[in-house]
Structure 1
Amino acid sequence: MDESGSARSSPQIHTAPRTAVSQDQDNFRTHFNFPGRAVPGHDDHGYGPLATVVESFMDPGTVIRMHGHRNEEIVSWVPEGVMRHDDRQGNELITDPDHLLVMNAGSGFWHAEETAADDPPLRMLQIFVRPHSLELEPGIQHERIPDAARNEWRHLFGPEGSEAPLSVRNDVHCYDCRLDAGATVTLPSQSGWDTYLYVFEGGVTVDGVPVGYTESALVTGESDTSVAATEESTVIAFRIDPDAPVTRSGTIGR
């Protein structure tokens, strides 16, 4: 029963292996995770406003030259190492475990990315959110995020007006969590919304269903769902309104 006394539905857990959709540009490599493909018969590679979650690798001394994005929200999450950013607005920013970068591309935003020769190899996630409207005002957010606490969800971004430290222009909340082996947390959830979980390091079970390294799970239904670490793990979760209005004209996150 929920707080209103109504019976809550059991969660449906759709798991997906590591994506086979990848690009190899030698010192820059990407793996595209499409949350909609976890659901049999789903006619969209994305899931509502969450278009894709990209696992990106950059070797030391890599430069991705200035390029443009349009009509998409791009979030760079760097759990280890550094990603160096500059753009045509004159920003020179470093994204690392203490900072999150959100590019609200809107009608157009140009940027470049780089790792210095003495930086460590970089593995990060670049998250593409579909905005609710086309040709919005472009902008950038780069903020220090709260310190991570073991075995607790940390709120990273959410819709405009939410309590999250950074925002995107659609109905997606994002959280990360660093779990000790054997620890259990409850997956972020909300009535009428669904949750997509990606295992960045380690392995977990989601209500007893195994989800391993670089695998993912899309959870629907309104029952509390447990995430238990079978080893020391880092996971990231997206709470999504599947019925939010979306646009599909992004440069990458269509």
Structure 2
Amino acid sequence: MDESPSEQTQSHIYAGPRTDVSQNQGKFRIHFNFPGRTVPDHDDHGYGPLATVVESFMDPGTLIRMHQHRNEEIISWVPDGVMRHDDRQGNNLVTDPEHLMVMNAGSGFWHSEETLADDPPLRMLQIFVRPHSLDLEPGIQHEPIPNPAAGEWRHLFGPEGTDAPLFVRNDVDFHDCRLAVGDTVTVPSRAGWHTYLYVFDGAVDVGDASVGYTESALVADDSDISVTAVENSTIVAFTINPDAPITRQGTIGR
């Protein structure tokens, strides 16, 4: 019997293929990854406060003109290259492998993004988190992040009050990890929370599920699940409170 596109490999692990939802604007291209669609018959494209994880490409010499976001938290994770940010608050920021940016859009935040002609091609993740309340105070965070350690999770953002360098205004923790072939780590977890994992580069086994390049998996409980690299891999994981209060009026990440 054929299995559904999101294959349930264990009672609590779901593996999903690369997204087929994309936009091509020439020098700027995006692929939407919807964590909720990893789970069969889930009634939301997002999963609790995690709305979408967008794989974004910008060619050298690309400008995304000033535009507004509202009622979403947008995180820019750049594992290689640079993304240049300007905004109406007078910030001129460069996000790169040493820095992470969180735009807490709240009631409204205007910004632009750019790569210069002599910048390298850019591939990054832009993560959209649903805040717990509408029309919060807007602001931006741009902070240095710890150097990655091979084979270890790095905690980069979390709810307000955690030990992560940056925060979002809902119950989502974000980690990244770089694994050599054969390395094994345990999926980050919290009691009562679930974890969505995305393979940015390489291929891994998540429990008994094989998850390849740009594919994802969702662990729908807080079990200790191993991740083993089949290839040299860069992976990210979002630990999510599925019962957190959410809003759904974001500009993109509804």
Residue equivalent to 2:120: 120
Q: Tell me, which stretches of 5 or more residues in structure 2 are unaligned?
A: 1-9
Matches of residues 96-245 of structure 1 in structure 2 within 5 Å? 96-245=96-245
Over 3 Å counting, the alpha-carbon distance change for 1:154 and 1:235 in structure 2 is same
Q: Percent identity among equivalent residues? A: 75
- Partner of 1:119, secondary structure, is coil
In structure 2, what residue type is equivalent to 1:140? I
Q: Give the Cα–Cα distance (whole angstroms) in 2 for the partners of residues 16 and 30 of structure 1.
A: 18
Deviation at 1:11, TM superposition (A): 6.0
Residue identity in the other structure for 1:106: G
Q: CA deviation at 1:190?
A: 1.1
Normalising by structure 2, we get a TM-score of: 0.95
Hey, what's the Cα distance between the residues in 2 that align with 1:180 and 1:152? 11
**Residue 11 of structure 1 contacts residue 223 of structure 1 at CA under 8 Å; is this kept in 2?**
no
What residue is the counterpart of 2:77 in the other structure?
A: 77
Looking at structure 2, the residues matched to 223 and 157 of structure 1 have their Cα atoms a distance apart, in angstroms, of: 22
Unaligned 5+ segments in structure 1 are 1-9
TM-score after normalising by structure 1:
0.95
* Residue correspondences, number: 245
SS in 1 for 2:31: strand
Provide, for residues 103-135 of structure 1, a one-character-per-residue CA deviation record: whole Å limited to 9, x for no partner: 000000000000000000000000000000000
Q: Note the aligned Cα RMSD (angstroms).
A: 0.8
Q: Secondary structure at the match of 2:132?
A: coil
| Corresponding residue SS for 1:36 | helix
Residue matched to 2:68? 68
Q: How far does residue 222 in structure 1 lie from its aligned partner after superposition?
A: 2.8
In structure 2, C-alpha distance between the alignment counterparts of 1:127 and 1:222, rounded to whole Å: 22
